[in-house]
């Protein structure tokens, strides 16, 4: 395992311990609203601190970009850690055991290392650029579906961008009719990891933030998936509008999604 990936795994597991303890003691969880349909808990803040402290101990010169902490600059800006210490906060708050710690390392703007850790199931998804993707140390590959008739897709509802609901529901309806079924689990990093592991055959969501997909997208690509924006380009890192699947499923998903794209989502 790459030394920096090893540190990321350590950071994810340290955060996972905080999260599992908090999940087992919901009466001690304090929640506040950051915005509409956007919440943060004291557990997430403690988990993020665990990640930051672990990374800073080994790499004090690196920059860390976290969902809650913002940007913590270091003396070497070429190295940026992108962190979501609790992806799936709404699930956590409501006692739904489906959430993850997501950590990615970007070197000169390119994602090189990735960890998505599900502390409830103790499932560790990892990837290093060019070295494939693993689940608990075993190689994983994306599914081999050739069309949507037997495919199970994953998605996320635009809860923070409800002004796009009509376009989204058009996509959902057509993809639902064509596919075997659709899942909405509530943690983008795990959706991407599940595509990587062949558990679902494709995933799409709009309005994501970099910490939602930085790690999961590398894991998916290293497992053989393709990750694009809604028109098949590479602008998803800026727009947050993302589609992920194997090449054949992706082609069909993009064709369907394009039929419902307003100009504001055409990137």
pLDDT digits (tens, 9 = 90+) for 15-25: 999 999 999 98
Q: What's the pLDDT score for residue 184?
A: 97
Residues 64 and 184 in one domain: no
Residues 24 and 81 in one domain: yes
Q: What's the pLDDT score for residue 36?
A: 59
Residues 176 and 80 in one domain: no
Residues 7 and 130 in one domain: yes
Local structure of 128: helix, strand or coil: strand
Question: In whole angstroms, what is the distance from residue 6 CA to residue 20 CA?
Answer: 21
Dig out the tokens for 62 from the structure. Answer: 């690196």
Residues 222 and 132 in one domain: no
Return the axis-axis angle of helices 165-178 and 247-258, rounded to nearest 10°. 130
Pairing mode, if any, of strands 76-87 and 100-107?
Answer: antiparallel
The answer to whether 110 and 78 have CB atoms below 8 angstroms apart is: no
Total tally of structural domains belonging to the chain: 2
Q: What's the pLDDT score for residue 38?
A: 61
Per-10-residue mean pLDDT of the chain, 267 residues long, equals 94 97 87 67 92 96 89 89 95 96 97 98 98 98 96 93 90 97 97 98 96 97 97 92 97 96 72
Q: Which domain holds residue 55?
A: 3-139
CATH of the domain at 234: 3.40.190.80
Q: What's the pLDDT score for residue 187?
A: 97
Nearest to 135 by CA among 219, 44, 78, 75: 219
The answer to whether 202 and 195 have CB atoms below 8 angstroms apart is: yes
Residues 250 and 215 in one domain: yes
Q: For tokens 């290293």, what's the residue? A: 222
Pairing mode, if any, of strands 152-155 and 138-139?
Answer: unpaired
Confirm whether 145 is domain-assigned: no
Confirm whether 243 is domain-assigned: yes
Residues 91 and 169 in one domain: no
Q: What's the pLDDT score for residue 4?
A: 96
Q: For tokens 């409501």, what's the residue? A: 94
Q: What's the pLDDT score for residue 250?
A: 98
Residues 219 and 127 in one domain: no
């Amino acid at each position: 395992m790459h030394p920096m990936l090893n540190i990321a795994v350590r950071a994810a597991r340290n955060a996972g311990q905080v999260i599992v303890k908090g999940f087992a003691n919901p009466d001690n969880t304090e929640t506040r609203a950051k915005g509409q349909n956007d919440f943060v808990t004291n557990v997430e803040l403690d988990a993020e601190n665990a990640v930051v402290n672990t990374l800073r101990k080994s790499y004090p010169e690196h920059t860390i970009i976290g969902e809650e902490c913002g940007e913590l600059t270091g003396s070497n800006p070429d190295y940026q850690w992108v962190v979501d210490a609790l992806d799936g906060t709404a699930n956590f708050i409501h006692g739904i055991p489906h959430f993850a710690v997501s950590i990615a390392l970007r070197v000169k703007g390119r994602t090189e290392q990735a960890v998505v850790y599900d502390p409830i199931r103790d499932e560790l998804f990892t990837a290093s650029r060019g070295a494939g993707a693993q689940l608990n140390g075993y190689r994983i590959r994306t599914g081999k579906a050739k069309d949507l008739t037997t495919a199970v897709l994953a998605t996320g509802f635009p809860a923070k961008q409800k002004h796009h609901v009509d376009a989204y529901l058009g996509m959902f309806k057509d993809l639902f009719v064509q596919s075997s079924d659709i899942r909405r689990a509530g943690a983008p990093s795990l959706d991407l990891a599940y595509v990587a592991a062949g558990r679902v055959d494709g995933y799409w969501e709009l309005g994501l933030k970099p910490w939602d997909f930085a790690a999961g997208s590398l894991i998916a690509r290293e497992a053989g998936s393709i990750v694009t924006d809604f028109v098949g380009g590479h602008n998803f890192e800026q727009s947050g509008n993302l589609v992920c699947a194997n090449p054949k499923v992706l082609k069909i998903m993009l064709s369907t999604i394009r039929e419902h794209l307003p100009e504001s989502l055409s990137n």
